Structure 1
């Protein structure tokens, strides 16, 4: 039996969905599109698309990222989260999707793809609080990708990917607070970050705010892993955000 999309529902198709996080105006944002086609026409969804013949999953992710944001994914942090294979996740037929997590600093206004009416940055809190319904199983994918991002901040240096260089330790701390959802003690955070192996590289320059003391500027170091790790359970919290 051939469905209305022209695909045999018994044939398994593969797609890539992108969970693209950035920090804008002090909030963690995710890129969402408004679907222009059925199913879920008019609903919000993660950007993504079918894997084309001859493409690898990584190539599809890079292409979709370029089409949806006009960005080169090779300059961002990009990684697979997991595959989603519930037989009923797509009403058009059997579709397995592989979710990718993309992270970047204050990314620009996105460009809608060919099957989207519009694309926009949306605060993650609005989605998680239930103020917005996502198509397919994209809410589950979002939650899984957010937990992956939070875990990565514990064990890797990926938090610096959110920071345009050069940056201050205070700006880096705010990334942790926004992604984790709670505030951190500034003194303890500074001590741990500046002692972490090859995480931060001092530029030798300072930023002079209108109020307060000058702040040292840093760029990303060579380390990929945060040694020692900064675990959420052991982080010194100040107050709930």
Structure 2
């Protein structure tokens, strides 16, 4: 048995269009994970806040695919179940969320729904042609900007992010980045791929993600959605390959 097949893993995955989108494939992934759950920690990593993620997990996820941890709101929230991981948000204290929100609003851009605004995340719809001006307007604030899709424009603290939260969780579990595998489909997942040497881009991944990843640094699955994630987990040896026991 290979070393990769015996060591513990942390698997961190985006939700929307990475795991969701093919219910049958999600069931197959859940069954495969359930057989090897003892050596794989599973965390979801979503741009959406905790309440929204909780609803999706309850509505769409098979019971065997319940995550051990939840990274939400673009890496500004980390939970074990419904309990925040101690210390993570302390580093964001004093972040000027209201001032950043106002700076984008005065430019005339449309904020996302109130449910998607949190104390450490500002989310607006900013068309691509206007994003340079929006970045300039925010240049005086301590922040990082994640732009994806046609107009998603999210602003979070410099120390936050999907990648930073993934590393924090790995450290919390006593694992190194070599024991982390991530999966995603869009540009806002890029930070995860940059911190983990094992990355899975599902078959339906957006060109914005594929173009940003250096060739040979990730696995581009043939299958889409959860089927592509399962394909990638087997490719990296996180889950066994071959015929599954009946």
Q: What range describes the TM-score normalised by the shorter chain of this pair?
A: under 0.3
- TM-score w.r.t. the length of structure 2 is 0.26
Greater helix share, structure number: 2
- TM-score w.r.t. the length of structure 1 is 0.26
The structure with the largest alpha-carbon Rg is 1
Greater strand share, structure number: 1
